[in-house]
Amino acid sequence: MPALELRGLTKRYDDGTVALRDFDLVIPDGAFFGLLGPNGAGKTTLISAVCNLIRITAGEVRVFGEPGDSLLARSWVGLAEQDINLDRFLTVRETLVYHGGYFGMTKREAEERAAEMIRVFDLEAKADVRAPRLSGGQKRRLQLARALMHRPRLVILDEPTAGVDFELRLELWRYIRKLHENGTTILLTTHYLEEAEELCDEIALIRGGRLLARDTADGLRERYDADSLAEVYVKAMGMETTAA
Ligand SMILES: Nc1ncnc2c1ncn2[C@@H]1O[C@H](COP(=O)(O)OP(=O)(O)OP(=O)(O)O)[C@@H](O)[C@H]1O
């Protein structure tokens, strides 16, 4: 059973913008899958469709075989959004416990899991501090911990390392890798090609709401007759490489 199946997915926003066109994608259970594409390619729209945050215009979304708009599918997905969106009135611990409650955990379960997440993400010293008092890196870690609270089978990370320093990027990679090793399927969007290359076992290139190619990094290099993923990207996206 694939972790994610998109069939003929189309999204037209109210103003007429078509962000996804007849998009097909199957992501196997246990994959570490990367989505690469320029600004406006449709990555966030795709994620929003998978998480049932937007109404799709046509097509089908299935999460581990269940319709994407079912409660079960929703409970299997953990989303760490691109922008930090933490509740400013909640402490680290409360943020996690509330999220667990939202996904149907008992208070006790949620408290235990929150304590575990606080430990794993090195937030012990800040457990009773409210979100606005956290550093940028601590906010990122909390956002990731929150996405993992309810033990989702599919974790979606929308540019998790955008604007973070080198050290935190390595730290986040370590967490994400460990999660993947434990059997969680990961869907990652990033603008950092080296990040996709380092982490993902398969990569999809998307532009203008369409899937251009999908392969391993090696497979993509071969297909585009390129030495690096950067060269693949430039060729696939039809960018000019030489100054005229
Ligand atoms: N609510 C909306 N209403 C109208 N158009 C939208 C809306 N949200 C996104 N779009 C448009 O849909 C297209 C795809 O946007 P999307 O945010 O999915 O791209 P993205 O690949 O995530 O880009 P980025 O890398 O910049 O995050 C863009 O043309 C965008 O302007």
Q: Is residue 161 in a domain?
A: yes
Share of the chain above pLDDT 70, in %: 98
**How far, in Å, from the CA of 114 to the mean position of ligand 1?**
33
Q: Which domain does 33 fall in, by range? A: 4-84+153-236
- Residue 240's pLDDT is 57
Q: What value does the mean pLDDT take over residues 141-146? A: 94
Residue 132 maps to a domain:
no
- On whether residue 27 sits in a domain, the answer given is yes
DSSP SS3 for 18? strand
Q: Residue 48 C-alpha to ligand 1 middle, in angstroms? A: 10
Q: What are phi and psi of 227, to 5 degrees?
A: -85, -25
Q: Can you tell me which residue has the tokens 């998109």?
A: 6
Residue 54 lies in a domain: yes
- Asked whether residue 244 is domain-assigned, the answer is no
**Does residue 226 form part of some domain?**
yes
pLDDT digits (tens, 9 = 90+) for 161-205: 887 888 888 988 999 999 999 999 999 999 999 899 999 999 999
> Ligand 1 pocket: which residues have CB below 6 Å?
13, 15, 17, 19, 37, 39-45
DSSP 147: H
Contacts of 13 (CB under 8 A, 6+ apart): 19
Per the structure, the count of domains in the chain is 1
User: ipTM more than 0.95?
Assistant: yes
Looking at 55-108, which runs of residues are DSSP E strands?
A: 58-63, 66-67, 77-80
For residue range 5-60, what is the model confidence (pLDDT) as tens digits?
999 999 999 999 999 999 999 999 999 999 999 999 999 999 999 999 999 999 99
pLDDT digits (tens, 9 = 90+) for 47-78: 999 999 999 999 999 999 999 999 999 999 99
- Residue 200 in any domain: the answer is yes
Q: Which residue has the tokens 């103003």?
A: 15
Residue 74, domain CATH: 3.40.50.300
What is the chain's length? 244
pLDDT at 241: 56
Average pLDDT value over all residues in the chain:
93
Q: Is residue 47 part of a domain?
A: yes
Q: How far apart are CA 93 and CA 240, in angstroms?
A: 49
Phi, psi of 204 (to 5 degrees): -110, 135
Contacts of 240 (CB under 8 A, 6+ apart): none
Ligand 1 atom nearest the C-alpha of 191 is: 25
Which atom of ligand 1 is found nearest the CA of 18? Answer: 12
pLDDT reading at 125 higher than 50: yes
